[in-house]
Amino acid sequence: MAKLTAAERKALPDRAFAYVDRSGKRRLPIYDASHVRNALSRFDQVQFESDADRDRALKKLLAAARKFRIVPIGFVDRQIRVERAGRADTPPLPTGFVTMLMTDVEGSTGHLDVLGGDYASVLDRVRAIHRDEIERAGGVIVVEHADDVFAAFELPRQGLDAAIGVLRSMATAAWPAERSIRVRAGLHAGYPTVRAGDYVGMAVHTTARVSDAAHGGQLLVSDDLVAALGDESPAGIRFIRKGRHRLRGIPDEVTLHQITIDGLRSKFPPIRL
């Protein structure tokens, strides 16, 4: 990793750093792949001024990792353990054949740029919607980081009910400055391994890639999830097959389906690969 001179570092814009504190000190440079890898290794050593600052820095760092096609598997696993360890009365994770839901806010950087400090209240509302719908469906939140949510369910129908509830609630919520806040959502079912209070394994990464393929307001599910549902689908939805795709980092092709929900948007651009 090339070391910058003081003058070169000073010339960089603030967006080249994951975190700028209130005194103007800039930390965790993310302007190239080597510095992103270094920031991933040093993130837990930084003293953030608030949880909101930490969440914003985490979001910028993960966005930079995606930009440079870095898959921070160990980093994400570590953040999940930290998150769950900090929550009291955390329920046990489902084991065996588990349904997993992952979501994230589409265009979060643009929302943050427009809303500034008001974006923190948006994140609070997004998380509250997820908590309500996931708990109502009988699921467990595995982790919340920035605008990403990861939840697990014992039954496929529970995961589907939660995902539908989240999308409906997001669509009807009132957002600041008339912004359209939408989440990408992905569901997959498989056999993750429970380790130290979190999940690891290819099933987890498949869920993440299914979610990544969606657009804001869109719910994509894997063929494994559809097969596990059987005849348990709720009324008012349809499955639209989107074909088999090679998802980044997943060894086998995955058949994706879009779930259309009565009253919500049903037409989207081609899936994101």
Q: What is the pLDDT of residues 196-234, one digit of tens each?
A: 778 999 999 999 999 999 999 999 999 999 999 998 888
Question: Is 84 domain-assigned?
Answer: no
- Residue 267's pLDDT band, with cuts at 50, 70 and 90, is very high
CATH assignment of the domain containing 220 = 3.30.70.1230
Residues 237, 261 contacting (CB under 8 angstroms) = yes
Q: Are residues 64 and 99 in the same domain?
A: no
Residues 271, 221 contacting (CB under 8 angstroms) = no
- For 151-208, give the secondary structure using H, E and C: EEECCHHHHHHHHHHHHHHHHHCCCHHHCCCCEEEEEEEECCEEECCEEECHHHHHHH
pLDDT value at residue 175? 94
Question: Is 80 domain-assigned?
Answer: no
**Of the residues 19, 40, 70, which one is the last residue of a structural domain?**
70
- Residue 2's pLDDT band, with cuts at 50, 70 and 90, is low
Which pLDDT tens digit goes with each residue over 115-143?
Answer: 887 888 898 899 999 999 999 999 999 98
- Is the pTM here over 0.75, yes or no? no
Segment 16-29 mean pLDDT: 90
Q: Are residues 26 and 109 in the same domain?
A: no
Q: Are residues 121 and 25 in the same domain?
A: no
Question: Is 271 domain-assigned?
Answer: no
Residue 81 identity (one-letter amino acid): R
The parent domain of residue 26 ranges over 6-70
Q: Are residues 26 and 126 in the same domain?
A: no
Q: Are residues 215 and 257 in the same domain?
A: yes
**Of the residues 22, 38, 70, which one is the last residue of a structural domain?**
70
Question: Is 76 domain-assigned?
Answer: no
Q: 127: which residues sit within 8 A by CB, 6+ positions away?
A: 144, 149
How many domains does the structure of the chain reveal? 2
Question: Is 269 domain-assigned?
Answer: no
Q: Tell me how far CA of residue 30 lies from CA of 33, 50, 70, 251, in angstroms.
A: 7, 20, 12, 29
DSSP string of the chain, one letter each residue: -PPPPHHHHHHS-GGGEEEE-TT--EEEE-SSHHHHHHHHHHGGG---SSHHHHHHHHHHHHHHHHHTT---HHHHHHHHHHHHHTSTTPPPPP-SSEEEEEEEETTHHHHHHHHGGGHHHHHHHHHHHHHHHHHHHT-EEEEEETTEEEEEESSHHHHHHHHHHHHHHHHHS--GGG----EEEEEEEE-PEEETTEEESHHHHHHHHHHHTPPTT-EEEEHHHHHHHTT-PPTTEEEEEEEEE--TT-SS-EEEEEEEETTS----PSPP-
Please classify residue 85 by burial: count the beta carbons closer than 10 Å to its beta carbon, then call 0-12 exposed, 13-18 middle and 19+ buried. Answer: exposed
For residue 249 the two structure tokens come to: 């980092």
Question: Is 46 domain-assigned?
Answer: yes
Q: Are residues 64 and 97 in the same domain?
A: no
Q: Are residues 55 and 149 in the same domain?
A: no
Q: Are residues 251 and 128 in the same domain?
A: yes
Residues 18, 27 contacting (CB under 8 angstroms) = yes
Q: Are residues 250 and 199 in the same domain?
A: yes
Q: Are residues 158 and 37 in the same domain?
A: no
Question: Is 47 domain-assigned?
Answer: yes
Which pLDDT tens digit goes with each residue over 142-191?
Answer: 988 878 999 999 999 999 999 999 999 999 999 998 899 999 999 999 99
**Percent of the chain surpassing pLDDT 90:** 56
Query: Rounded to whole angstroms, how far apart are CA atoms 35 and 39?
Result: 6
Tell me: pLDDT of 80 over 70. no
Question: Is 187 domain-assigned?
Answer: yes
Q: Are residues 54 and 118 in the same domain?
A: no
Residues 166, 182 contacting (CB under 8 angstroms) = no
CA angle 41–152–260, rounded 5-degree value? 110
Query: Rounded to whole angstroms, how far apart are CA atoms 67 and 176?
Result: 28
Q: Are residues 52 and 111 in the same domain?
A: no
Residues 208, 147 contacting (CB under 8 angstroms) = no
